[in-house]
Amino acid sequence: MKSKIMLVSVLTIMVITSQNLKAQFEYGIHAGMNLETQAKLGQLWNNCDFYQGYLLGGFVEYKPFKNISFQTELNYQKKGDKSVSTVEGVSSVTRREFNYLSVPLLLKTTIHDAGLGDKFDLTFFAGPYAGYLTTANSRLKTGDSVTTKDIDNEAEKFDMGAVFGGGIKYKLGNGGAIIAELRYEMGLSKIDKQDQDLRNKGAGITIGYRF
């Protein structure tokens, strides 16, 4: 009889713990468009044109408290820069494309009563990120001529920096939510072996769904 009571107690504790953990963890996917450049440390951007990149990935959010949470992500990101020059009336456009797998670790704060209604929450977040370069290439277009070059050996394999941003969450009736965020990524580590002053910089908007 005692063993049965103990077994029931253990099962009950396991169920309660499982439910609590499920309530503390949230999962989702997101995608976004970024305006990217590569600039010196301390600069938000340089004088070159912006390169259009993107972000695709998923996230896991751990919520130990009502208003404070931790979020980690696994993203595939396209970064780079773009420069335009004109020589004797002929325009040349150079695009350098750096593709990364990146993992941010964000501290988030949520404002549940922001005057927007019960279904809306405001969020603000900041934290570091680490990225691993998968491919890098340079594309030069002069008139109708296009030349592509692999520059993997000219680029650093690892990128590190910080992410800042905020967003709004719209809670759905099925328990999920639609999330829109503005974020800025400031690279802190060198990315180019030839020009060691350059860092990745980018700002963009992401749209996501929390399950």
**pLDDT confidence of residue 117:** 81
Instruction: Answer whether residue 169 is part of any domain.
Output: yes
Mean pLDDT of the chain: 86
Confidence at 124, pLDDT banded by 50, 70, 90:
very high
In angstroms, the CA 1 to CA 16 distance is: 23
Instruction: Answer whether residue 122 is part of any domain.
Output: yes
**CATH code, domain with 183:** 2.40.160.20
Q: Which residues contact 66 (CB under 8 A, 6 or more apart)?
A: 110, 112
Instruction: Answer whether residue 5 is part of any domain.
Output: no
**pLDDT confidence of residue 122:** 95
Three-state SS letters, 20-31? HHHHHEEEEEEE
Instruction: Answer whether residue 4 is part of any domain.
Output: no
The range of the structural domain enclosing residue 46 comes to 25-210
**44 token code pair:** 């938000």
Instruction: Answer whether residue 18 is part of any domain.
Output: no
**pLDDT confidence of residue 43:** 67
Total structural domains within the chain: 1
The overall pTM is greater than 0.75: yes
**pLDDT confidence of residue 90:** 75
**Which pLDDT tens digit goes with each residue over 59-108?**
999 999 889 999 999 999 999 988 887 776 677 888 999 999 999 999 99
**Which pLDDT tens digit goes with each residue over 141-186?**
887 788 999 999 999 999 999 999 999 999 998 889 999 999 999 9
3-state helix, strand, coil in the chain (%, to 5): 10, 65, 20
Instruction: Answer whether residue 136 is part of any domain.
Output: yes
* Overall average pLDDT of the 33-61 stretch: 84
Instruction: Answer whether residue 7 is part of any domain.
Output: no
Rg (CA), the chain: 22
Which is higher by pLDDT, 91 or 130?
Answer: 130
Instruction: Answer whether residue 13 is part of any domain.
Output: no
